[in-house]
Structure 1
Amino acid sequence: MRHDMAFANADFIPGGKDYPARWASRAAAFRAALGPRARLGLRYGEAERNWFDLFTPEEQPRGVVVFVHGGYWLRFGPRDFSHLAAGALARGWACAMPAYSLAPAARIGAITAEIARALAAIGAACAGPLALAGHSAGGHLVARMGAADLDLPAELVPRIARIVPVSPLSDLRPLIETSMNADLRLDAAEAAAESPALLPPRPGIRVHVWVGGAERPAFLDQARRLGNAWACPVTVEKGRHHFDVIEGLEAAAAPLTAALIG
């Protein structure tokens, strides 16, 4: 398909195919080390993958970071990325990581609705501000939470302190012409309705887009499209590619963590 190469990542990253196994190993070790401060499988809905994991710091949390995983809405789960909660916990924030139904079992609009329900459940379970981060397809999903058309509980919206889409997919129309669309089943109407770059942001929402400087040109373009559409800052992190750009979330002092929670 015309845009397959544009959105391929592993083929253009040295050792790219090894990253998923490394993520899963680091995530499992992180959960094991956290012990009872890792609360796993909390439900937010009836579908099989309607659950979230919640990691808490030793002290009373200052707020909660919500991290939404990527994988083109087709693969992975939050337990491949548990270790990315480390930076937030070190800063005294809790971190929630929701699962969601994957395509082709669910279309992207339905996945967006699931994340909205997850966010409401996380907000009910955790006090204080919420800071949303997501990577790739997860970047799309957290950006959707910042779009004005999405219905969220009125009491939840003022608690959203910051949204940081990392390497987000913000304009879904090119994905129609990729082979993965056999499973995504995007058509022109859904692609437009689910593209944050084509939607107005919520008034007053604070968004900071993050992308790696060594990413595929399509992802640099997707990040800049969202930044331009929403008039928000875009940080291009030098030397980072699509798979290592999220590593800053592991460190309390990393610029990515600072962009998310200050």
Structure 2
Amino acid sequence: MDAATLDREYNARATTPDVLEILAEYRARTDAAKAVLPWSTQAYGPSEPERLDIYPAGAGPAPVLVFIHGGYWRALDAADSGSMAPAFVAAGACVVSVNYTLAPAASLDRIVEECRRALAWVHGNIARFGGDPARIHVAGSSAGGHLAAMLLAPGWQAGLGLPARPLAGATLLSGLFDLTPLPHTHINAWMALDAAAAARNSPALLPLPTGLPPGFPVVLAHGDTETSAFKRQTSEFAAALRDAGCAAEVVPPRPGSNHFDLVFDFGEPGNPLHRATRRVMGL
């Protein structure tokens, strides 16, 4: 693709005319969740952005849903990322929303490292909040889907005191799994990726499927109105996971759904995406 086509294909906001209203709804629904659920903020690192919002399980030990927000690595916050908490807590889960330092203040290497340290904190501490560290399910949307997929890669866990397989499953909502096109797009204005950084942070180019147990459950989804590039990233990564023996399921999109309102589908009881995630979490 030429540069203009790449820019169109990876411009998620351009596919959603009411994107600003949806992003505002992220915060409103998170505020509503915090108004009705017990919750707390915990630090997992020394800087202010390195924090987690935790919505404890009603009774434990319970499966843990760790959610990583999107925003093309430069926007949003854990304070925008708790809309799914009421439904999953009601179903018996402990919910954790991960915050991280945004680009351009942080490189993608640093953002990935922060998310890995966040997972290590959850594994070591979530029992205090009713969560079962042996049943951690990671999820993320858009850039958060990419970060969630990076947590599946092998080779880094021992350095943070984690078992080789600290996760029990994943849900990836319209994630980016091959970043090699991005240095040629407008996104690089804030990401500053060179070819090497794009490759080492591309889950599709890492040996992550071989680090997962046979039958490892991964739920994937994309919006109905998304560009062909986002849809292809999901379908190709799902195929690679299946080839490696994982149980990768692509949930068909709700008619009219977009890149951003997938988060609402994820937290909507009765929605196929919500049901699929609950099923693989054992809820």
| TM-score, length-scaled by structure 2 | 0.85
Residue 27 of structure 1 pairs with residue 44 of structure 2: no
State how far apart, in whole Å, the 1-side matches of 2:274 and 2:161 are.
27
State how far apart, in whole Å, the 1-side matches of 2:196 and 2:249 are.
28
Matches within 5 A, 1:1-262: 1-2=3-4, 3-34=6-37, 37-40=38-41, 42-127=42-127, 128=132, 129-152=135-158, 153=160, 155-201=162-208, 202-204=211-213, 205-231=216-242, 232-239=248-255, 240-262=257-279
1:229 deviates by: 2.1
Indicate how the Cα distance of structure 1 residues 166 and 186 shifts in structure 2: closer, same or farther if over 3 A, else same. Answer: same
Aligned partner of residue 140 in structure 2, secondary structure: strand
Moved more, 128-137 or 4-13: 4-13
Moved over 6 A (4+): none
1:59 deviates by: 2.5
Q: Deviations over 1:224-254 (max 9, x none)?
A: 1211222233223232210111212323443
Q: Tell me, which stretches of 5 or more residues in structure 1 are unaligned?
A: none
- Aligned residue pair count: 259
Aligned partner of residue 114 in structure 2, secondary structure: helix
2:276 partner amino acid? A
Aligned partner of residue 236 in structure 1, secondary structure: coil
- 8 A Cα contact 1:84 1:247, kept in partner: yes
Indicate how the Cα distance of structure 1 residues 162 and 156 shifts in structure 2: closer, same or farther if over 3 A, else same. Answer: same
Q: Deviations over 1:5-42 (max 9, x none)?
A: 112223222422211112111211211222xx1112x0
Moved more, 234-243 or 126-135: 234-243
1:81 deviates by: 1.8
- 8 A Cα contact 2:226 2:259, kept in partner: yes
2:108 partner amino acid? I
| TM-score, length-scaled by structure 1 | 0.92
Identical counterparts, % of pairs: 32
- 8 A Cα contact 2:219 2:276, kept in partner: yes
Q: Tell me, which stretches of 5 or more residues in structure 2 are unaligned?
A: 243-247
